[in-house]
Chains A and B, each alone.
Chain A
Amino acid sequence: MKEQHATVVENVHGAVDQVAHAAEHGEAHELPNLVTVLNGLFPEAGWAHFLHQWENVIFSLIAALLICIVAIRAARKESVIPRGIQNFCEFFVEGINSFVTGILGPQGREHVPFLGTLFIYILLMNWSGLIPFMKSSTASWSTTIALALATTVYVQWTGIRAQGLGHYLKHMAGNPSNLFGLALIPLMLVINLTIEFLAVPLSLSLRLFANISSEDRLLFKFAELNVLFKGAPFFFQLFANILALAFSVVQAFVFMLLSTVYISLILPHEEHAHEEHVAHAH
């Protein structure tokens, strides 16, 4: 009896260790993809291990390649009356353009390429987790932190370019106007730098990562249940799939929306005031 108890305890410990091990390495929480299948088929081969290490990069490169091919094909035969693939792409670009200029104003058109690319790229990576033998690269933190850091650098660079370095630094120091403001410079500098360079990328990346990875976990769990109960919870799986489809769009949209808002926050405010003045005059 006691021995049995000991083995049960050992088994439980083994299972917990396995879960902890899997959690550390970020695997076994998602549906299998092409790379993990290859890695399982050829566990000894060096190239399979190499592919497994770089799987997020591989799948994000596939998404990037797809965007490039579609864009090149759409732009090759330019016609005044768009049809087919060109029509589709123009619809997309038109929508993103009107959204971004709606927030940033007409001069925000120069930011449309970056923001639109972010949206389409993230959307494709989110959705690719729903295709069999594909994986969402955004379900790993390394991809999303890269995207968020790129966004942060872009936003700060836009701020320096639009305001000038002196005004940018003044803004970072909290716009000191009197002696009290001057005394507060170290505090404001620390607060602003923490928000701009730590809180913004962390919140952007963790939001996307948490949403997509929990989506993938949900799909994996329902697939597991389907296997266990011979397809009985099929409609739950369908529901989870539809939910994942919708929330992928929402998360990609939120990433773009927040990037746009950060850009609009760091642009100089005089122009916006001028626009309001013009709007009132009309």
Chain B
Amino acid sequence: MDSHSVLAFALPLGLAITAVASAFALGKAVAAAMDATARQPEASTKILVNMMAGCALIEALTLYALVFGFSLMGKI
């Protein structure tokens, strides 16, 4: 196995793993936010804003993997 084929296997796999992990994290965040909204509907806007900020932070980790994937794609 040369470095090209290793990269060709590793890039999609790495992206898939980060996608799974961030899906779990997003699910946790959204579930907690839904719970909070159900308990306190009058604070829903504040909860939504905070949830969106947190979701963006979680998603960023997946996108780091995407960026590295794109930058390593040139080496295949």
* A236 → chain B closest CB, angstroms: 20
How many A-B contacts if CB must be within 8 Å? 47
Looking at the complex, which of A16-24, A68-76, A187-195 is the stretch in contact with chain B? A16-24
Of the candidate stretches B20-28, B30-38, B55-63, the one touching chain A is B55-63
Ordered by A's residue number, 25 sampled pairs between the chains whose C-beta atoms are within 8 Å are A19-B74, A20-B76, A23-B70, A23-B71, A24-B74, A203-B60, A206-B60, A206-B63, A207-B57, A207-B60, A207-B63, A207-B64, A209-B67, A210-B60, A210-B64, A211-B59, A213-B67, A214-B63, A250-B53, A250-B56, A253-B49, A253-B52, A253-B53, A253-B56, A254-B53
Determine the interface band of chain A, counting residues with CB < 8 A from chain B. 10 to 19
Q: How large is the interface on B (under 10, 10 to 19, 20 to 34, 35 or more residues)?
A: 10 to 19
Q: Is B43 an interface residue (CB 8 A)?
A: no
CB-CB contacts of A135-160 with B at 8 A, as 1s and 0s?
A: 00000000000000000000000000
- Residues on B with C-beta less than 8 A from A210 are 60, 63-64, 66-67
B10 interfacial by beta-carbon distance below 8 Å: no
In whole angstroms, how far apart are the Cα atoms of A207 and B61 in the complex?
8
Q: Does A257 reach chain B (CB closer than 8 Å)?
A: yes
A211 touching B73 by the CB < 8 A rule? no
A210 to chain B, nearest CB (A): 3
Given A206-B67, A210-B64, A211-B63; A16-B76 close (CB under 8 Å): yes
Task: List residues of chain A with CB within 8 A of the CB of B76.
Answer: 16, 20
Main secondary structure of the interface of A (DSSP, over half): helix
Could you tell me if B60 and A211 are in contact, using CB atoms closer than 8 angstroms? yes
Chain B interface mostly: helix
Across the interface, name the chain A residue whose C-beta is closest to B70: A23
Contacts of B64 in A (CB 8 A): 206-207, 210
A207-B60, A210-B64 given; name 14 further pairs at CB < 8 Å: A20-B73, A20-B74, A23-B70, A23-B74, A203-B60, A206-B67, A207-B64, A210-B66, A211-B59, A211-B60, A214-B63, A250-B52, A253-B53, A254-B53
Q: How far is the CB of A219 from chain B (nearest CB, A)?
A: 16
Q: Hey, which chain B residues are within 8 Å of A251, CB to CB?
A: 56
Is the pair B66, A214 in contact by a Cβ cutoff of 8 Å? yes
Contacts of B52 in A (CB 8 A): 250, 253
Rounded to whole Å, the gap between the CB of B57 and the closest CB of chain A is 7
Which A residues lie within 8 Å of B63 (CB)?
Answer: 206-207, 210-211, 214
CA distance A9 to B64 in the complex (A): 32
Query: In the assembled complex, which residues on chain A have CB atoms less than 8 Å from the CB atom of B71?
Result: 23
